Amino acid sequence: MHPALIKLLRLRGRALSRRLLRGIRSPRGIIFAVIGGVIIASWVLSAVVGIAFSERGDPARVTTYMPLILLAFFLLFLLGGAGRQSLLFSPSEVDFLFPGPFTRRDLLFYKITGSTIGIALSSLFILIFSLRHANHWLGAIVGTFLALQFVHLLSMFIGLMAQTASARLAARARWIILAAIAAALILAAFQAAPNLSAAGVVEFIEQARQTPAARILLAPFAVHAAIFTAPDLWPEATMWAAIGAAMNIALIGLIIWSDRDFLESAAASSRTHYDRMMKAAHSGGLRTWDARRAAKMRLPRPPRMGGVGPILHRQMLNALRASRGLVVTLVLLLVVAGVLLRNAAVDESLLGLLFGACAYITFFLSMMLRFDFRGDIDHMDLLKSLPLRAEAIVLGELLTPVLMVTVFQCGIVALAYAFVADLPWWVIVVPPFGLVLNLLWLEMENVFFLLYPTRRAFAGPADIQMMGRGIVIMMAKLFIVGLMGAACAGLGVVGWIVTGGSWAVTIGIGWLGMVAIGAAMVPAVATAFRRFDVSRDIPG
C-alpha cells in the first residue's frame, strides 16, 4: 500500500481521538462522558467477574451455534449491503484520492486495512463477553478475529462483484445466493423434522445442525468455531487457525483479482450511497423501495380533522415508500413467532417470554420509525409556518409511528389466537394497552427530541460521550413513563378496592387513566414544538 495512504489512516485515527476529546470540554460533555464510562466499565467488570467465577461454557454448544450466528451475520450483511458499503468512499475521498497517484489495488488495500483495524477492535469488545465459552484465551482472540474478518471479506467480495456487474444481474445473483441458503436451511429442518415432536426447540436446532445439508452450508464457518473451542494451542488450534487465515487470504486475492472496474463503479456507488444517506435521515435508516415503484404508491386521503389528516397522510405515504426493509423484517419476526407458537408446547411462561420479546422489539421500532418530528428536522420551518394549531401538527406527526407499531403488536396477538387453544385472559388487553403505551412513549421521544434536537448518528463503542447522553435521556424517559404507569396502576387499585375485586373495572380504569395522560401529553409536545427555534435549534 502507498505510504501516503498509511499516513492517512494514522491521521484518521488521530482525528477520531480529537473528536472524542473535543466533546468533553464543556461541563455537560464531561457529565455525559463520565456516565458513559461508568456504564462501559460496569459491562466490562460484570463480564470479567463472570469469567472468573462462573463455570466454563459447553464447547459443544459453541460448535453448534457459532456457525449459525456467523451465517446470520453474513445474511444481514448481504441483505443490508454492508459489503458494498465497505467499498464506498466519502465525497472528500473521491475528490482527493481518486485523482491522486494511487492504483486501484492501493485503494483496495486502504479500505481493507481500515476495516481490519475496526474488526480487531470489535473482536476485543466481543471477546470480553464470550471468553468464558473458550478453552484458551489466545484461541478465542484468533478465532473471533478471523471469523469477523471472513464474514466481512466475503460480503466485500460479493459487494465488489455487484458493483462491477449491472444492477439487474447483481440483484439476481444476490437473490440466487439467498435462495440457495434458504433451500439448504429448509432441507436441514426437513431432515430433522421427524424428531420435532419429541424434542424441544434447542434439541431440534442441534439435530438440524448435524444434518448433511447444514454441515455443507456451515462448513466455512465451522472452521472458526473449531479455533474458538480448540482444547490445545498446538497442534489443533494452530491447524484450524492456518485454515482460517488461508480462507481470508484467498478472499483478499479474489478481491484484488476482481478490481478491474473498481474505481469507476466505486465512484458511482459512492454518489448513490451519499444520496441514500440523505434520504435515510427522513426514513429512519430504513431500506426504501425502488424510486419508480415508490412513486406509484398511493393512499386514500383521510378527513381533514382540523389539519391532522393532511400531515398524517404525508407521513403515512413516506412510511409506505420507505418501508421495504421494515416490511421484510416484521414479516420474518411474525413468521418466527408463528413457528414458535405452532410447534412448541405453549404455556403462560412462553407467552410471557414472547410478549416480552415483542415489547423489546417495539422499543427499538419506536427508535427506527422516525416518521415524526425526528424525521422532519430539515422541514421544521415549513411545519411552523403552517396555519394550523400546534396540537393538530403534533397529532399528525405522531400517529403514523404509533399506528405502525400497534399493527405489529396486533399481528403477534392474532398469531397467538390462531395457534394457541387456551389463551390467558390478559392477552386480549394487549392491543388497547399497546396503542396507548406506544402513544405515550413516542410523545416522550418527540418531547426530548424537540428540547434536545440531534441528527441520527451511530456512535461507536469508543464514543462514550454520545453513549452517556443517550443513556441519560433514556433513563429520563423511562422514569417519566414509569411514573405515568404507576399513577395508572394506582387508579386501577382504587377501582379494585371500590368494586370489590372486579378485574374488568380495574383494567378499564387503568386504561382510561393512560388515555387521559396520553391526551394531556399532546399539549406538552405542542409547547416543545412552539419553543423550537429553527434559527438556533436545528443541529448541523
pLDDT of the residue at 263 = 61
| 145-183: pLDDT as tens digits | 888 888 888 887 877 776 665 555 666 676 777 778 878
Q: Are residues 265 and 329 in the same domain?
A: no
Is the CB of residue 213 less than 8 Å from the CB of residue 184?
Answer: yes
Closest CA to 288 of 265, 305, 272: 272
Q: How many domains does the chain have?
A: 2
Residue 14 lies in a domain: no
pLDDT of the residue at 410 = 84
Helix (H, G, I), strand (E, B) or coil at 9: helix
Residue 18 lies in a domain: no
pLDDT of the residue at 286 = 44
Q: Which of 252, 275, 298 is the last residue of a domain?
A: 275
> Above 90 in pLDDT, residue 428?
no
Residue position matching grid coordinates 378527513? 303
Residue position matching grid coordinates 464531561? 30
Residue 17 lies in a domain: no
In whole angstroms, give the CA distance from residue 330 to residue 69: 20
Residue 181 lies in a domain: yes
What predicted TM-score, i.e. pTM, was given to this entire model?
Answer: 0.61
pLDDT of the residue at 288 = 45
What sections of 322-453 are H helices per DSSP? 324-343, 348-368, 380-385, 390-419, 430-451
Own/partner pairs for 192-200, CB < 8 Å, 24+ apart? Answer: 196/343, 200/344
Q: Are residues 422 and 302 in the same domain?
A: yes
Residue 42 lies in a domain: no
Q: Up-side HSE of residue 540: CA atoms within 13 Å toward CB? A: 0
Q: Are residues 128 and 85 in the same domain?
A: yes
Give the cell for residue 359: 415489547
Q: How far is CA 151 from the centre of its chain?
A: 18
Query: What range does the domain containing 401 cover?
Result: 284-531
Give the cell for residue 47: 463480564
pLDDT of the residue at 215 = 83
Residue 458 is given by DSSP the state -
Query: How many angstroms separate the first and last alpha carbons of the chain?
Result: 35
Give the cell for residue 22: 473535543
Closest CA to 311 of 250, 370, 252, 383: 383
Q: Are residues 132 and 169 in the same domain?
A: yes
* Sign of the four-CA dihedral 130, 360, 371, 77: positive
Residue 467 lies in a domain: yes
CB atoms under 10 Å from CB of 54, counted, come to 9
DSSP code per residue over 175-188: HHHHHHHHHHHHHH
Q: How far is CA 294 from the centre of its chain?
A: 23
Residue 422 is given by DSSP the state S
CB atoms under 10 Å from CB of 28, counted, come to 13
- What's the pLDDT band for 462 if we cut at 50, 70, 90? very low
Is the CB of residue 385 less than 8 Å from the CB of residue 301?
Answer: no
- What's the pLDDT band for 516 if we cut at 50, 70, 90? very high
* Sign of the four-CA dihedral 248, 250, 252, 255: negative
Q: Are residues 298 and 423 in the same domain?
A: yes
Give the cell for residue 447: 418531547
Q: Are residues 395 and 478 in the same domain?
A: yes
Question: Mean pLDDT throughout 402-416?
Answer: 83
- What's the pLDDT band for 324 if we cut at 50, 70, 90? low
Share above pLDDT 90 across residues of the chain, in percent, rounded to a whole number: 8
Q: Which of 256, 275, 294 is the last residue of a domain?
A: 275
Q: Which residues of 89-103 are buried (b: 16+ CB within 10 A; e: fewer)?
A: beeebbeebeeeebe
Please give the backbone phi and psi of residue 522, each rounded to the nearest 5 degrees, phi first: -60, -45
Q: Up-side HSE of residue 69: CA atoms within 13 Å toward CB? A: 11
Question: Mean pLDDT throughout 482-511?
Answer: 87
Is the CB of residue 459 less than 8 Å from the CB of residue 488?
Answer: no
